[in-house]
Amino acid sequence: MDYSTSLGSLTDYEKGKVIPIDDDPKNYVFSNVFEVAATSRPYERVAVAKNFEYVIEVARAEGRSDWYTAAHDEFALAMDGEVEIELFKLDAPAAFAPEGSHGARKLGGEPEGRRMGRIVLSRGHQGLLPRGAAYRFNAASPGCLMIQTVEGPETVQKWAEICQNS
Tens of pLDDT, residue by residue over 98-135, are 999 999 999 999 999 999 999 999 999 999 999 999 99
pTM assigned to the model: 0.87
Q: How far is CA 27 from CA 14, 22, 98, 148, 152, in A?
A: 22, 11, 37, 24, 26
CA pair distance 90, 115, nearest whole angstrom: 9
Contacts of 119 (CB under 8 A, 6+ apart): 84, 85, 87, 127
* Short-list 98, 96, 39, 101, CA closest to 66: 96
Are 66 and 88 a contacting pair, CB within 8 Å?
no
Reply yes or no on whether the pLDDT at 14 is more than 90: no
For residue 5, which phi and psi values (nearest 5 degrees)? -110, 130
Domains of the chain: 42-162 (2.60.120.10)
Tens of pLDDT, residue by residue over 26-65, are 665 556 899 999 999 999 999 999 999 999 999 999 999 9
